[in-house]
Amino acid sequence: MDNKRIIQSYVMYGDQKFFVSTIERDYDIAYAGGVIRGEETIVWEYDRLTRKRGSMVGQGGGLQDHFKICLSLHNTGLMPEED
């Protein structure tokens, strides 16, 4: 099954800009004996002028992580502490 976009956000903190994307995708899990489907959030630096992603900043789980990451980037410019 193809990846499915769940949500994408653009977050600004001072001069820093970030692109946060959460998708649903298949994971090949050897210990589970097959493939499972789940959500993944990835964060990149973002250049508004060229409209291109830069370096990957971090990653997280699903939708709740997406919002937690956006809030932290907006408030501090940093990825949130891991739980």
Give residue-wise pLDDT tens across range 9-38.
999 999 999 999 999 999 888 776 788 899
pLDDT of the residue at 31 = 73
Segment 60-71 mean pLDDT: 96
Give pTM, 2 decimals. Answer: 0.89
Q: Is the dihedral angle over the CA atoms 22, 3, 59, 38 positive or is it negative?
A: positive
Distance, in Å, from the CA atom of 15 to the CA atom of 37, rounded to the nearest integer, reads 36
